[in-house]
A and B are shown apart, each in its own frame.
Chain A
Amino acid sequence: MLSELGLRDADELFTDIPKKVRIGRLGVGAGRDEIDVIRTVDKLLDRNKPYSKFSQFLGGRITTPFSPAALDAVVSRSEFYTSYTPYQPEASQGMLQSLFEFQSLWVELTGLDAANASLYDGATASGEALLLCRRIHEGHRFLIPASLPWEEKSVLANYAAGHAIRIEEIPFDARTSRLDLEWVRSAVRQGDVFGALVDLPNGFGHLDEGLPIVKEALGSVPLVVAADPLVLSVVEPPGAWGADIVVGEGQGFGLAPSFGGPLLGLFACRRDHLRMSPGRIVGATRDQEGRRAFTLTLQTREQHIRRSRATSNICTNESLLALGFVVYASLVGPHGLAQLQARLAEKARTLATALGEIKGLMAPRFDAPYLASFALGLRSGTPGRFLDLLRRRRVLGGYPLADPRPGAPTAEPLLLTSVNEATDEKDIQRFVRSARAAVATMTERP
């Protein structure tokens, strides 16, 4: 190849790079063959203790779902996972049709008009929703629950940072965790509110019974609902109670948490707002022979066409996880999803009831409905100490909800505790036994 270019050495291909910016050694070590790579990486990974080795109660926005074997069989098809963004529709009908099915499923779960083909994760989907509200409605104030997880507050603050937006926190009732709708009404009356976000379940894992009337308090101000897709299999779709945008984290549909990424951002909105909405969208059409076909559409909203006037900068999304999401729902089926949610609710109730009998614990901390997760309160000791004591007995009892950044405002010490599909009676018993012992230890030696 070099000789055909009239060159003697590949270095001659780099004469356009000035000497002044050349570098010497990288210092990244020598390459390894496959057997050595596997040995090295496995040695590293073996220092992890996967949650399946414990009686574990981790959940929340990111969960620990069971994944049917058929799911990985489909997403491991290399025609899917090694493919590029389907900008050439004729070569990409498989992915495009799958994404169309995915969009249809999220439309069905949310009760809204249209969904996009995915965003990065639930938190960034909320950020994009905030920016869409800003395009829909005048104003500078955006309302979020004070109970929203600190990570999501931080992501929202970053999405708002460049746009003269003030994020204000809706207070909640200390007994029930319900949002103060009177406060919302008054905020809207004061004016300058361009949108509000509420979450289902909320940051404490509880369901706010007041959500179906939030939209009444907002009037024409757009409402964003951040919803768990499994919860939507048993709860009335937010579109039916006035939501304008519904976002969510889709990882819980059979997708491995993988230490928190990749995740799956879900996004649906009303038809009126589609042209201002972010992300890729798949539409149905025909080919030149009149056959049904699928293609990316409304691309004039996107960065590769509209550049600085695009509705978002997003390019790469989470297509492969969107495929996994729709495959999971199709394997489990609509009935199966609702039954799964019912089983989780039953386990969570059993766990909370048993923990609630331990003096020193508030389980659940709030007097409010819950499904798979609830907030666990401690009357003494710290969540960190409590979790350490549990871990010694091979129990991962959840995680602290507080913002870990130094200088963060102090909040009531709470844990988020969740059940999952693998949780069995023995796990629950072990948690309860260990919690009782932990509380005793903390009381004796605080």
Chain B
Amino acid sequence: MTFRQARWDEPLIWELGSAVGETPPPSIPTLPDRLRRKRPVRWPELSELEVVRHYTRLSQMNFGIDTSAYPLGSCTMKYNPKVSELLARRRTAAELHPNQPVETVQGALEMIWRLEKALGKITGFPEVSLQPAAGAHGEFAALLMVRAYFRDRGELEGRTEVLLPDTAHGTNPASAMMAGFQAKEIASKEGCIDLDALRGAVGPKTAAFMLTNPNTAGLFESQIVEIAETVHAAGGLLYYDGANLNAILGVTNPGRMGFDVAHLNLHKTFATPHGGGGPGAGVLAAGERLAPYLPVPRVAKRGRAFALDYDRPKSIGKIKAAYGNFGLDLRAYVFLLSHGEEGLKAVARRSVLNANYLGKRLGRFLPRPFRTLVKHEFLLSGAPLKAKGVRTLDLAKRLLDEGYHAPTVYFPSLVEESLMFEFPETESKRELDEFALAFERAVTDTPEHLHAAPRSLAVGRVDEVLAARELLLSWKDLRGRPETFEAAAPVGSGP
């Protein structure tokens, strides 16, 4: 496949038109002089066409799922159905203020209630809250619930550690730190939890053990029952990171596996768009022990009506404004309605089949660490390429030239030069075969070509070291440095 991205010499927006003069903003009688802005906001005055064309051109210099497949391990970049976009833009969904009287938002509350119930069934937990803004936010909230739980039991002073495997997502140890725990990593064995190492690590200091299953090596932790017993025997709680739930939908669930609390990412498993990095939507699902600590308000059904329940004395309170990312929750609800029981089970089968099929095809070119029966994703090691002076990063950039997003690289770190691939269920066999051919072209290309990649995109290889050294983070920092960072054809004088 020949691929070439648009390459506009598109100026920065303030280079498109000059800012307003030095006239101060209009006088507002109720605004005291002491607070009044002395000079106007320096931003260009542009026509609608100028703005639309600018951002349309920028959009043409961006990969999205609709243009390119994303084999990004652990990120589950599946197709975002258009019907969800249509429905989320309804006035009956978009034009709702969170502080409207509950009588005027019964449909919204019922949708939240229904989605929470369905996600409870999927996770195997009695209670669910949609308040977190994203996955990591859900981790943080769950660990605050763990804190509150141990405080109530008088054990918080002693239980200061959160354990996690060395393959854990970076958000896990970071969330532990944010919630005031010490994160302690446990070395894996053959890509999975080393039960002996875990037994040696748990104890009276253990507050929780955080685990994603299947893990980030794409492997199902088959000893999950023993893991749960070990953590619980030490008085700790078991936390489920739901980033990889796609592979086990309808096959097993965190409640059945013995977990106490979980977060899910609606922008992964439930097909809400990633938006260039966000918004996402996080879900908190809790078992009996932690459910009383979920954030308020909870959506409650009272007779035929729905209400916001604040009467939760043990609740940790609020973790964000309003009730969660409703616009995304609605899209996830649409995904659930469309798929239903059989559809969700097919998601797991199809995504696992995709990973195993592609793993087998790509395994001809680079070694696969650990066992080859994987779930939704698999790892390759780019280490053999080092002999010809090629790094995993070069291979990733070369794949961009084929019109594919790069896989996740250098994670998890226990595999040298690792590449992590995940093609969710929405990608066809044809796409997988095309990708395998593209991968073959890339991995067998000359070191010169690999080092020079990418050559088909809006820009060539970007100098990230220079960015970190110069720290040019806004238009202010670019001023006075035109010779270095000038666009091809600046227009106007800028702010």
Contact = CB atoms under 8 A, between A and B. Distances in A.
Contacts of A73: 52
Given A108-B41, A118-B278, A327-B51, A113 B476 contact: yes
Given A151-B318, A163-B180, A237-B37, A259 B105 contact: yes
A345 B31 contact: yes
Interface residues of A, number: 189
Contact of A23 (B58, B94, B124): B124
Interface string B459-479: 111111011101111111110
Interface in A371-407: 371, 387-388, 391, 396, 399, 404-407
Nearest to B339: A31
A117 B275 CA distance: 13
Interface residues of B, number: 204
A334 B45 CA distance: 7
A32 interface: yes
B133 A120 contact: yes
Contacts of A296: 464
Contacts of A292: 485-487
A305 interface: yes
B326 interface: yes
A14 B219 CA distance: 11
A25 interface: yes
Contact of A334 (B41, B57, B169, B252): B41
B13 interface: yes
B493 interface: no
Interface stretch (B72-80, B196-204, B283-291): B72-80
A258 B328 CA distance: 9
B30 A303 contact: no
Contacts of B56: 74, 77
Given A21-B252, A48-B104, A260 B323 contact: yes
Contact of A155 (B124, B273, B321, B341): B321
A262 B214 CA distance: 29
Contact of A79 (B63, B85, B334): B63
B135 interface: yes
A98 B338 contact: no
A320 B19 contact: no
Contacts of B38: 236
Given A37-B334, A295-B462, A320-B279, A371 B31 contact: yes
B98 A288 contact: no
Contact of B48 (A41, A98, A331): A331
Contacts of A411: none
Contacts of B110: 44, 47
B28 A371 contact: yes
Contacts of A14: 251, 352
Contacts of A22: 251-252, 256
Contact of B171 (A313, A348, A404): A313
A45 B331 CA distance: 13
B12 interface: yes
A84 B20 contact: no
Contact of B122 (A28, A318, A406): A28
Interface string A45-76: 11111111000101011101000101011101
Given A23-B253, A283-B470, A259 B326 contact: yes
B491 interface: no
A142 interface: no
A100 B471 CA distance: 12
B302 interface: no
Contacts of B144: 158, 161-162
B45 A88 contact: no
A115 interface: yes
A51 B108 CA distance: 13
Interface stretch (B231-239, B353-361, B383-391, B438-446): B353-361
Contact of B344 (A28, A64, A261): A28
Contacts of B32: 207, 209, 369
Interface in B313-335: 313, 316-330, 333-334
B488 interface: yes
Interface in B45-103: 45-46, 48, 51-52, 54-68, 70, 72, 75, 77, 80, 83, 85-101, 103
B277 A261 contact: no
B279 A321 contact: yes
A262 B467 contact: no
A406 B296 CA distance: 12
Contacts of A308: 173-174, 176-177, 182-183
B321 A151 contact: yes
Contacts of A68: 48
Nearest to A12: B373
B26 interface: yes
A37 B88 CA distance: 13
A93 B92 contact: no
Interface in A204-237: 207, 209, 211-212, 232-237
B59 A94 contact: yes
Contacts of A21: 224-225, 252, 256-258
B126 interface: no
B137 interface: yes
Nearest to A313: B174
B278 A305 contact: no
A161 B317 CA distance: 11
Given A84-B405, A162-B181, A327-B51, A79 B64 contact: yes
A92 B68 CA distance: 12
A335 B20 contact: yes
Interface string B5-22: 100001011100001100
Contacts of A274: 471, 473
A124 B137 contact: yes
Contacts of A5: 353, 356-357, 360
A309 B100 contact: no
Nearest to A43: B107
Contacts of A207: 31-32, 35
B267 interface: yes
A291 B222 CA distance: 50
Interface string A195-209: 000000000000101
Contact of B276 (A18, A319, A333): A319
B468 A235 contact: no
Interface stretch (A182-190, A336-344, A355-363, A436-444): A336-344
Nearest to A165: B180
Given A44-B110, A62-B98, A317-B277, A235 B183 contact: no
B449 interface: no
Nearest to B55: A74
Nearest to B90: A45
B139 interface: yes
Contact of B320 (A26, A121, A211): A121
A157 interface: yes
12 contacts: A16-B375, A41-B333, A48-B108, A58-B97, A94-B58, A99-B276, A104-B474, A284-B478, A285-B466, A286-B462, A291-B488, A308-B176
Given A22-B251, A236-B35, 6 more contacts: A28-B121, A104-B476, A209-B34, A261-B321, A338-B40, A399-B100
Ordered nearest first, which 8 A-B pairs have the shortest CB separation? A162-B180, A260-B322, A31-B340, A260-B98, A320-B275, A94-B62, A47-B107, A262-B279
